Chains A and B, each alone.
Chain A
Amino acid sequence: MMSNLIPDKPPFKLFDILYKKEFILLIVLFVILLINSNISPYFLDLYNLIDSTFLFSEKAIIALSMTFIIIARQIDLSVASIMALSSCVLGYTTSLGYDTSTIIFLTLITGVLCGLFNGLIITKFAIPSIIVTIGTMSLFRGLAYSFLEDSYYNKFPEIVISMGSDYLFGYIPYAFLTFIILSIVFAFILHKTFIGKKIYSIGNNPDAAKYTGIAVDKYTIVLFAVNGLFSALASIFLSGRLSSVRPNIAFGWELEIITMVVLGGVYIYGGSGTILGVFISIFILGMLSFGLGLLNVPGVGIIIFTGLLLILSIGFPSFVKNFRRKNE
């Protein structure tokens, strides 16, 4: 009788871990760390390592909420433009002399409103998100341009400056700390709550999800609003770090953020992926560009590496799978 029972969880096998995407990513990260520490004596310096997190923390914060968006079978190309617009609001409200909490509130609200706008157009008119966000990408950054023209803001509240460039206990940058805390929160929501389960089922099959009573449209709108919120949060860190805002701030970041998510094993057509994978891939990309930077490889070398890594990380496993299937 026992043999007829179907276990609801497959039995744990040590060998299975080897096939997990996260495991492969971890090995890649390990190899990168090993190579980096061998070729440059400056790599394993604690202060260097800590400061290297400044290079990716802001993008990483958005990558977390972008993971939710992509798992729900959507995409948001407008995040960098939302950042530009909310940093403009940050600079403008500061110049008007509002008090700090109002400034930060208005900046975050700008992000939420941009995200809501995306979500409403996508759901109300049933238009694919890639097209809508190509449009809003121009719209939001265009608004930043028409607002600032060729000037810039360089005055921000004390708190914003210290958020962007200071360390907790003199060691942990606030941006990095925020990213770590948010990854734990996002991982909990995605993997341990009914919200996460619903996001996966929306991504797997939106129509089926609708018939099982999930408010797909409401989820989509909220996810885009959350993505806008975190873009605005990232823009506060970035403005504080650069202490200068121009309309071209964070130009091209949307593609880097999506690369972080997709490299982390999140399927671009939705329904699968983990926060852990994205977390590791953020470190892979961060350490890769940091290491190449120490070797004086210019930014372009990093661009080529990132692109190749992105295509090969997805192309190689599916190629092997196809190859095996043909041989069997």
Chain B
Amino acid sequence: MKKLLTNRDVILFLIILIGVIAVGIANPFFVKPSSLSDVLTDTSILIILALSQMIVILIRAIDLSVASNLALSGMLISLLSTLHPELPVIYFIILSCIIGTFLGLLNGVSIAILKVPFIVTTLGTLSIYRGLIYFVSDGKQVYSHEFSDDFLSLIHHKFLSLSFLFWMAVIVFIIIYVLLNHTKFGRNLYTLGGNPEAAKYIGINENKYIILAYSISGFFAGLCGYLWVARYSVASTQIAIGFELTVISACVVGGISVMGGVGTVVGCVLGAMLIGLIRNALPAVDISQFWQLAISGAIILIAIIINTKTEQRKEKTIMVE
């Protein structure tokens, strides 16, 4: 029992539960099933991106270009759909993933082969990818009436009264959970992040894993490119601007250590959910939306400090033993 209560994921889950109940007391409408399922829908893209960012953070890196990657792949498929509205929507999804993977691959190659530090690379591609959106779209927007019906309607399908977006997040969760916990790839990723020197001695090819991790991050950014455009029925140069920092915050709140090799898939999802809850709950309890940014900033800082404290304590106990 004591072990259970000191488990970070359990604590995070309890915090979310208490948060939902507290908001529910202040505003009963918030805890109605339909409203809660809206919160989940609203958080799904964040969950997918946080999970793919986690893979990168595990190997002591960060991908700052995800939001630009998302926006660029979203814009490219939107432009294609205005030209060829007759194509089935699955083509667009696959294409979006392919574009995203390619953009992620470029990051990986720059870091692993050109040896440009990850911050510099992804900071650079953040600008380049964002700039390319203006370039391909001429600065114009693609509005909802320009998309084909299929393109937009897929996302509004429901299953068990939960949205398509939510089920996508569930599928991505399962994929990444299996990938990280039940495959050699996942184990090697943790080893590489936890102790790069040791990883080298047991023959893990660091470059290969860097390129793979960034490609996976790009793949899901591409997928979210479709989801984002279809959900908001608009593709513009400004979509998801600054979202990369929300994604990283979700990972950090979820207990993924930026020092590498530490963090669970469940924690990552809970971190994203806590951020999503804050974003949705503040309007429900009549806190001005202008406070939202400051409150998320404060919560991120508190979460980081708590995480670091517990990590440091663990290190100390190992020393005693």
Contacts and interface: CB of A to CB of B under 8 A. Distances in A.
B300 A127 contact: no
A300 B126 contact: no
A256 to B, nearest CB: 9
B175 interface: no
B120 A255 contact: no
Interface stretch (B81-89, B127-135, B186-194): B127-135
B305 interface: yes
A139 to B, nearest CB: 3
Interface residues of B, number: 48
B291 A130 contact: no
B124 A135 contact: no
Contacts of A307: 123-128, 131
Interface string A308-322: 101100111011001
B134 A300 contact: yes
Given A258-B123, A259-B123, A149 B245 contact: no
Interface string B231-254: 000000100001001001100100
A298 interface: yes
Contact of B126 (A146, A255, A268, A315): A255
A312 B139 CA distance: 26
B297 interface: yes
Interface of A: 75, 121, 125-128, 130-132, 134-143, 145-146, 148-150, 247, 252, 255, 258-259, 262, 268-269, 298, 300-304, 306-308, 310-311, 314-316, 318-319, 322
B27 to A, nearest CB: 21
Contact of A139 (B245, B248, B294): B294
A314 B120 contact: yes
5 contacts: A131-B258, A135-B304, A300-B135, A311-B110, A311-B125
B289 to A, nearest CB: 9
Contacts of A137: 245, 297
A259 B119 CA distance: 10
Interface string B110-148: 100111110111011111101111110001000000000
Given A145-B293, A311-B120, A121 B305 contact: yes
The 7 lowest CB-CB distance pairs between A and B, nearest first, are A142-B294, A139-B297, A138-B297, A142-B293, A315-B114, A307-B127, A300-B134
B290 interface: yes
A138 B253 CA distance: 14
Contact of B128 (A269, A304, A316, A318): A304
B315 to A, nearest CB: 11
B119 A130 contact: yes
A29 to B, nearest CB: 19
Contacts of A252: 242
Contacts of B128: 303-304, 307-308, 311
Contact of B296 (A138, A298, A315, A322): A138
Given A127-B308, A132-B304, A135-B304, A141 B293 contact: yes
Contact of A318 (B115, B304, B312): B115
Contacts of A132: 301, 304
B119 to A, nearest CB: 6
Given A141-B293, A143-B294, A304-B131, A315 B119 contact: no
B308 A310 contact: no
B292 interface: yes
Given A138-B297, A302-B131, 11 more contacts: A125-B304, A125-B305, A128-B258, A132-B301, A134-B248, A134-B300, A139-B294, A139-B300, A300-B139, A310-B123, A311-B116
B292 A303 contact: no
B295 interface: yes
B304 A315 contact: no
A268 to B, nearest CB: 5
Contacts of B110: 311, 315
Contact of A128 (B133, B139, B259, B305): B259
B258 to A, nearest CB: 5
A318 B120 CA distance: 14
B288 interface: yes
Contact of A319 (B115, B119, B294, B300): B115
A322 B114 CA distance: 9
B309 interface: yes
Given A134-B245, A149-B290, A318-B114, A298 B308 contact: no
A148 B295 CA distance: 15
B127 A303 contact: yes
Given A308-B124, A311-B110, A131 B252 contact: yes
A79 to B, nearest CB: 14
Contacts of A308: 124, 128
Nearest to A149: B290
A131 to B, nearest CB: 5
B62 interface: yes
B105 to A, nearest CB: 14
Contacts of B26: none
